[in-house]
Amino acid sequence: MKLRSVRPRSFTPGSLSAAADENSRSRWTAPVPGNRIGRALIACSLSLPFMVACGGGRDKQKPPKETVPVRVALVAEKPMPVEIRVVGHVESMSSIAIRPRVGGEIRKIHFREGQNVAEGDLLVTIDPRPYEAAENQAKARLERDRALAKNADDEWKRYADLVKKDYVTQQQYDQARTHAAAAAATIHADEADLESAKLQLEYCSVRAPQSGRAGGLLVQAGNIIKANDDKPILVINRISPIHVSFSIPERHLGGIEKGMRSKPLAVRAAPSGEKKDQVAGELTFVDNSVDRLTGTILLKAIFANRDRALWPGEFVDVDLVLETESKAIVVPSAAVLTGQKGPYVFVMTGNGTVESRAVVVDRTLDQETVVSRGVAAGESVVVDGQLRLTPGAAVEVKSAAEAASARP
């Protein structure tokens, strides 16, 4: 079978444009009778969305600017102390370990562990019978030697008359005088022995050498103890008054020396985290050298401690007041925020908005912050609601209860 070739139809640019125009006219004019009416309807349908959009933009109102509920506080100018805050250690003013001066059996305990004792109170009784016997022996020796001394003294006096009449030799007289002097010396020795025996007997009654708090009893009734044993019977700590020792950086030494020239510096102490339980005391001791390893200097303060708020061995928070700044600019600590450029606060303006203002913080005491630059006394700073604020934001000042309910 013989195939026939087909020559493709050629098109010119003019013929293509004419064909396109013809197809377009046939597509738009075919459904609508009358070309003018169809074109008008098409134009209206195309322009209607734009007209609606433009008209709607003119009729729609701009929403009101949102206000942020906040609480504010006034910047105050008032006296504020300049304080150093460190951790201190409570120490008893005197801690005495009670050790026996004589040995023997413990017969009786006269106190309870942890009891407050007064100076001179009887604590422990050691078996006194051996020491009573020693005292009686010393008394007996003294009586005997007194009798011998009296006889020697009488003999010496007789020899003194006889030697004048040459009835006895001078040597015999000298011997009689020597015997009398020796007997008198023996009496002095016996009296000292008796005093020692009485003292040993007195040591059998162990008494409190100072007022304070008795610790745990380290021996029991019936135990045999020896004199000056390394193991004490108990320890008595003096609790009222009491010392608190603490160390501060050496850079504050000049301020401490300056403050102590006029009067003792005030010190406050409280158990860790118990700020409300602070007790007042005075600085009494500044060490005579700075620790080369730590660069700190040791100080001690004395507290009356009548209510036993401080206890030996306890760690406490210590506030040392160096001086009082009479006109300090103070803001609530809650108003101070920290940003990338440092601390700042939101300050109320006159048109109901806030502005962000950088501040220089000098020190913080409890819930108040002393600011050396950035705000002035009488200005209002935001203390609650800052998380929703930006510079220039409109705010509404509310009470604490309203601000709390408005938090997201």
Please report, for the domain that includes residue 286, its CATH number.
Answer: 2.40.30.170
pLDDT at 229 over 90: no
Query: How many Cβ atoms from other residues are within 10 Å of residue 332's Cβ?
Result: 20
Q: Does residue 313 register a pLDDT over 50?
A: yes
pLDDT band at 2 (very low <50, low <70, confident <90, very high): very low
Statement: residue 23 has pLDDT above 80: no
Residues 109 and 121 in one domain: yes
Least confident of 48-57, 73-82, 179-188, 325-334: 48-57
Statement to judge: residues 249 and 378 lie in one domain: no
Give the model's confidence band at 32: pLDDT under 50 very low, under 70 low, under 90 confident, else very high: very low
Tokens matching residue 317: 């928070």
Rounded average pLDDT over 136-158: 91
Residue 183: inside a domain: yes
Domain containing 301 equals 82-93+241-324
- Together in a domain, 141 and 115: no
Q: Which letter, b or e, does each residue of 280-319 get, where b requires 16 or more Cβ atoms within 10 Å of its Cβ?
A: ebebeeeeeeeeeeeebbebbbbbebeeebbebebebbbb
Q: At which of 324, 356, 378 does a domain end?
A: 324
Q: What is the DSSP string of 117-132?
A: E-TT-EEEEE--HHHH
Question: What total number of domains does the chain contain?
Answer: 4
Q: What is the pTM of this model?
A: 0.61
**Confidence grade of residue 19 (pLDDT, cut at 50, 70, 90):** very low
What is residue 11's predicted lDDT score, i.e. its pLDDT? 42
Tokens of 145: 């030697």
pLDDT at 28 exceeding the cut of 90? no
| pLDDT per position as a tens digit, 361-390 | 988 887 899 998 999 999 999 999 888 888
Q: Are residues 157 and 282 in the same domain?
A: no
Percent residues over pLDDT 70 in the chain? 82
Residue closest to 245 by CA, chosen among 275, 292, 286, 210: 286
pLDDT tier at 400, thresholds 50, 70, 90: low
Domain-ending residue, one of 324, 347, 368: 324
In a domain, 356, yes or no: yes
Q: How confident is the model at residue 359 (pLDDT cuts 50, 70, 90)?
A: very high
Q: Is the pLDDT of residue 324 over 60?
A: yes
User: Does residue 36 carry a pLDDT above 60?
Assistant: no
Has residue 36 been placed in a domain? no
pLDDT tens digits for 85-124?
899 999 998 999 999 999 999 999 999 998 999 999 999 9
